[in-house]
Amino acid sequence: MELPLLVGIALVLALLMKTFLLQAFSIPSDSMRNTLLKGDRVLVDKLTPWFGSQPERGEVVVFHDPGAWLKNEPTPRTNGVQKALSFIGLMPSAEEKDLIKRVVGVGGDTVECKGEGPLRVNGKALDEPYVFPGNTACSTDEGGQFKVTVPAGHLWVMGDHRQASGDSRYHQHEPGAGMVPVDDVVGRAVAVAWPLDRLDSLPVPDTFDHPGLDK
């Protein structure tokens, strides 16, 4: 009698944790290298937004697809056990089409890429040590050159692997103009939890502490 009860309590606690506290997320691509590698598991803080906190510049966030960004990406096939474990939060969901990127602009910010960079926010050049080695801060292809003002309640997001990230830059001509509604944010990625040799926190880089970034 006790064992089923204990298992039931554990499952309920896991489900509550997934819903309100932390959720595992599997990195699906190389768009955030070397900060995050394909196959890494990160823990996403879902609690803070419940208290009215808004995403800030420099945070790595998980968000729901804001407008068919993943329309050409296949959904992995999963079995019943994987689906059950995903439902209660004991493993990342393979069916939810979510994305993970770094916030570089919040409501009211002007974000600009010209030439190979640097990336500028409100006219201030960013020093971005997290950008993938060998990449330029800005891409010179179509979409990689831009100057946008982020509407209130939205975010401009970019991957750390700038030349391998289908982020806000490449959805400017679609509904939403590449902006991510804050309401679509699942939470902030706070730590790499797996594999164990990559266990680490995901702090906001010092570059976003520049006092001149705020208008």
Active-site hit among 31, 86, 139, 165: 31
| The pair of three-digit structure tokens given for residue 101, joined into one six-digit string | 């990127």
Active-site hit among 101, 139, 165, 168: 101
DSSP letters, 70-127, are TTTSPPPP--HHHHHHHHTTSS--SSS-EEEEEEEEETT-EEEE-TT---EETTEEP-
Where does residue 18 fall: left (phi above 0), alpha (psi -120 to 50 degrees), or beta otherwise? alpha
Is 101 an active-site residue?
yes
Is 53 an active-site residue?
no
In what helix (H) or strand (E) does residue 185 lie, and over which residues does it extend? Answer: strand 185-194
Distance from the first to the final alpha carbon of the chain: 62
| The pair of three-digit structure tokens given for residue 86, joined into one six-digit string | 């995903």
Measured between alpha carbons, how far is 8 from 44 in angstroms, rounded to an integer?
Answer: 24
| The pair of three-digit structure tokens given for residue 89, joined into one six-digit string | 């939060």
In what helix (H) or strand (E) does residue 18 lie, and over which residues does it extend? Answer: helix 2-20
Q: Which residues pair with 191 in a beta bridge?
A: 43, 201
CA distances from 144 to 24, 111, 139, 168 (A): 31, 12, 5, 10
- Residues designated as active site: 31, 101
